[in-house]
Chains A and B, each alone.
Chain A
Amino acid sequence: MTPRTTPLHDSHLALGARMIDFGGWDMPVYYAGINEEHRAVRSAAGVFDVSHMGQVDISGPGAEDFLQRVLSNDLGRIADGQAQYTLLTNDAGGIVDDLIAYRRGPDDFLLVVNASNTEADVAVLQAAADGVSVVDRSAEHGMIALQGPTSDDVLDGAVADIPPFGFAERTVAGVACLVARTGYTGERGVEIVTPADGTLAVWEHLLAHGAVPCGLGARDTLRLEVCYPLHGNDISPTTNAIAAGLGWVCALQKDFTGVAVLRRTKEEGPAQRLVAFRMQERAIPRGEMAILDRDGTSIGAVTSGTLSPSMDEGIGMGYVRSDHAGVSSAIVIDVRGRPREAVVAGKPLYKKES
């Protein structure tokens, strides 16, 4: 199958990006290098092409009630012009997708979902819609994340007023966009939803104003340092939202898909929990490596791992038996047959010096 491309594909190639297949999309993994791009976002400003992400419009009478039944978080807590991190759950309390819901108005929402889950999400949503309009608009949009402590300066302060998890219609480089103060890096920044044919103009404007182009490699190391889960790695339709540490986005007092299971999990405590950990020895954890206790008994598995560019040590996340999930719990990672010591650490793993 021919990989799909974003409106910025030619630009990536012209910038000399190393491309990879990412869930059926031909995407840049890095341009100059993962570490360099990572540091640009931590210290200045970087831009990411996230046009592969899906945009789904949910509208019409009853749209809010409908979303309240299928999404885990309580949309009643946000006003028009605000966004919310939430989960699309299944009957088992598993995570079909994690996404951001934007409330544009009464009964008018935009969902921004993970690229490779878009079709599955739309199918689940349409099956439950009961007359509410569910329309996949992904092909009509591009999307660019501008992230980093100097990101406001890149746009001359034009979006500096947008509060965390707020969004607004703004013109960027002459293109009408939806600009949201959200991101996946732990840094101040915005995500810009563009019309597909205006994406390149916005991208080139941001590059011309000093933002460093960053690929999916840095996106992954940045999000892992601040312990944002990656769907498909850390969370999935078979992982319980409470076990994943996402109870904070599950409004268990309301009724939504899978809530009964999640209430029980909350009450009884999950058998495993998704924890963050740091290596105590020079070694890099990788997904699917076994997690052991100090006697060598398997107690879980790594779901994400890397060498942290900010802290220069191996870090990761993984599920461990709940009796080993406490912060400071000593665990062992099986690094290709060699036991390497690690310690469960609080989330986020990386905190900005203040």
Chain B
Amino acid sequence: MLKIRIKRQMQTPQGKQCLDLDLNIEQGELVSIFGESGAGKTSLLRILAGLTVPEEGLIEVCGEVWFDSHKKINLPVQERRVGFVFQEGSLFPHMTVRENLEYACCDKNGLESVEGWIVDLGLKGLADQKPDQISGGQKQRVALIRALLSRPKLLLLDEPLSDLDFVSRLKLQDEIIKIYQKTGITTILVSHDLSEVFKLSKKTFVMDHGKIIKSGTPQEIFVNRDLSGKFRFTGEIIEIYKDGVLNILTLNIANQLTKVVATDDEITGLTVGSKVIVAAKAFNPLVLKA
């Protein structure tokens, strides 16, 4: 169990705000933290890693106290054993892919597993390349494995997919699921991409202005309960265009692109990137084996 009760003043572009959090995360869970920029998501991860010190509070991981302001305990970042994947990857530019992975290993077994990971991730031809010679998606895959090779107790993913193109993002999402299933490591994913939250996590905490405002499954939080549709999906608008008198919306629903027709009233206030719920209640959809 991960217990987090922390308080810290933060300076944000909108002015000063207080990060005031109280949450528990079960061991072996993959949870997501959802929220707009400046909500305090990254600050939470940095505090957990020991890179930022809260003013007061308690952080306890599997019974081990990492931070306790009353007892003046603050475990150094090196001793917390946290795997942190940053938004921009942070691979060491003077090391090759292999050297980056080997640097993270803390024992002989780790070093021996490096080659296996390189093959697993399809990076064999790139193992001796420097980070600036590989793509953004490949960089993040290396960063993810590098974080795991340090044998962390906790994996922190700070929007690791946000700078990637759509295809690389989907690929790396699958990679994260695979790694999570293989290792069972407690993972906290920060994201402001709704489809990512739905795909990767079973539990989500929604943050706003430094506080948790909602928690639960992504379905409970994001899908409007008042709707009583036969089916409903959450998606993101990729494209809006007019075809004669109709508006055609191209939607990304769980990584499948779908076109739907909408009236002028329905698209009022909607732009590309808006999150929408698509629901139908007047008919039964066909369910066919794919």
* B and A form one assembly: no
